[in-house]
Structure 1
Amino acid sequence: MEALFPELTPFRRDTIRLHPRPGRPSPRDSSVGGPLLWPAEEIWPVCRQEHYLRTFSGERYYDEGEVYLVPIVQIHRKDVPALPFPEGCDLLQVLWCPFTHIGLYCPEPRVFWRDSRTVEHVAEAPSPDENAPEQHIPRPCVIHPETVQEYPSWDLPEEIDDALLDRFENLEQEQGWSYHYHLSEVPGIKLGGYPGWTQDPLWPECQWCERQMEHLLTVSSREYDGESWRTWLPVEDRETDSGEEGGRAHWGEDAHSPTGMMLGDAGGVYIFECRSCPERPMDYRFDCS
């Protein structure tokens, strides 16, 4: 990439693809949607905000009860050592309220960092609220972390994008590779790098130090789409049809939608943190097609 487009070099970032696949992780495993190494003596977090829910009949109403948060991602440092953990912590846990919330109209996440060595007795996760949207609760998945380099698509500065446009188009015409679909941002659930935006970027600023926050985690509906599979679908997941590799055969299967989630119209929730502040405050954004 940088041999063809040296202007992209300053924008290169490492991202960690989690490659979730349905499985039976334990609390001692890194996972997406799996059981958490949550201390039995610690109260399970709940959401007390108003919840927005659409019923099958099309009616809309607010639900104001306490809702237990559901596990989304758990990362042990031994599995993803490149992730910048806070000092004294070796475990990242992300949960969210599965209901839609007013404002961003998506589940509301929370981030917890802890020292796994202090957890002796593990709590069993409460059952999700019976009215919670199933498409906001991931199936338990084991992960297969892979660090790759990526370049910005939506986050590429406009003046750089304009300067490279003709060369991007020439590459696509000559070799069939679209910069924005095949060669820039990694799709799927990932740590670090660039958010997997589907619309214009909207980076949050820390309310304490007013610096732009850093991307911690993208939780997306799908691992790839009808275009991006050509470069981002793992070799192990590829099938052949009449001698040609195909990605569409995987739609609805483990490689394409391993968690079973659907966030809006194939969208994603993007979680950010401020590493300049000791408390590591977090924020989040949501977008979809």
Structure 2
Amino acid sequence: MNPRTPGRPLDVEALFPEVAPYRRRTVRLHPRAGSPRRRDSSVGGPLLWPAEEPWPTCPDHPGSPMVAVLQLRLIDLPEEVVPFPDGCDLLQVLWCPRDHDGCWVEPLVVWRRAPAKGARVRPAPPPPAGAVRQYLPRPCTVHPEAVTEYPSWDLPQELWDALEERFDRLEEERGWAYQYHLSTAPGIKLGGYPGWSQEPDVPRCPVCRQPMEHLLTVESTEGDALSSTAWTPADEGPRAEGPGLTLGDLGGVYLFECRRCPGRPFAQRFDCA
């Protein structure tokens, strides 16, 4: 049975109609340890990497190969919450699993047309010497599910200030916290809102200088003691057998991109829980 998010405990827009204009859709990937194949969408699985292309290496650690983090086929997504570039049907994300100055990992985002069946593909090299074990995702199959989100840390400050008393009253009277139970889904997800654990820090495109758009959140777990009652699939604990990542103190890595500029420049942010 595919993991699925529990039904929403409350009608967010009925309680807080002010947040309705900020509604977004995200695809939760629900990675579960398994044996994905090369043509499967996966977390930490084998990539469809063309044989004629060299395997990417880390710009900060010359010769250090990157490792596969994510492969998503457009056909496997229940909704196109992030527009794929024209002619592309495959998203691949890799990173260098070694500590870097000022960040945990060094990511790479690749959009491409999937190689035709029978085309030669390049096998992944072994992880580099010095790789941090907690940055090496265990191979997982994925179970994409589209859900609705509302901003938490990304809610405009003036709106948060206006709603805070009602948020607090809801938690006191019914036990549901807007921030942890009703706003953003935890885990590994495409589109929607970043899974910030701290103050948001949205990067600006180095080309056009406009705020970039959230592409992908990679968090250590699918839930925690605060959010698990609302977001963790039934019969699964917050540490269900997934990719086994530990990013900071159970924090996350957030990838952003600019969809206005050629080549879709990308950037990363990260924080600790």
Q: Deviations over 1:46-83 (max 9, x none)?
A: 01415xxxxxxxxxxxxxx5210000010001001513
CA-to-partner distance for each residue in 1:157-199, whole Å, 9 max, x for gaps? 1111111111111111221100011001111000011110111
Report the CA distance between 1:118 and its aligned residue: 4.6
Instruction: Kindly provide the amino acid, as one letter, of the partner of residue 40 in structure 2.
Output: D
User: Do structure 1's residue 264 and structure 2's residue 261 form an aligned pair?
Assistant: no
Structure 1 unaligned segments of length 5 or more: list them.
Answer: 51-64, 239-249
CA offset digits 1:130-162 (Å, max 9, x no partner): 321110000000000011111111111111111
Deviation at 1:206, TM superposition (A): 0.5
1:78 is matched with which residue?
75
Tell me whether 1:210 sits opposite 2:214 in the alignment: no
* Corresponding residue number in structure 2 for 1:115: 113
Shift of 1:117: 3.9
1:35 is aligned to 2:46: yes
Secondary structure in structure 2 of the residue aligned to 1:186: coil
Aligned to 2:25: 14
Q: Between Structure 1 and Structure 2, how many residues are aligned?
A: 259
TM-score normalised over the length of structure 1? 0.87
Whole-Å Cα distance in 2 between the matches of residues 40 and 198 of structure 1?
Answer: 39
- Greater than 2 Å deviation, 4+ residue runs: 250-253
Summarize the alignment of residues 119-134 of structure 1 with structure 2, pairs less than 5 Å apart: 120-134=119-133
Match of 1:283 in 2: 267
Q: Which residue of 2 aligns with 1:96?
A: 95
Which has the larger displacement, 150-159 or 112-121?
112-121
TM-score, normalization by structure 2: 0.92
Percent identical across equivalent pairs? 57
Distance 2:116 2:214 in 1: 27
Residues 228 and 238, structure 2, Cα contact 8 Å, conserved in 1: no
Give yes or no for contact 2:222–2:239 (8 Å, CA) kept in 1. Answer: no
Distance 2:131 2:251 in 1: 18
Corresponding letter in the other structure for 1:101? H
Which amino acid in structure 1 is aligned with residue 109 of structure 2?
V
**1:29 alignment partner AA:** D
Partner SS for 2:161? helix
Q: Distance in 1 between matches of 2:143 and 2:54?
A: 30
Deviation at 1:203, TM superposition (A): 0.3
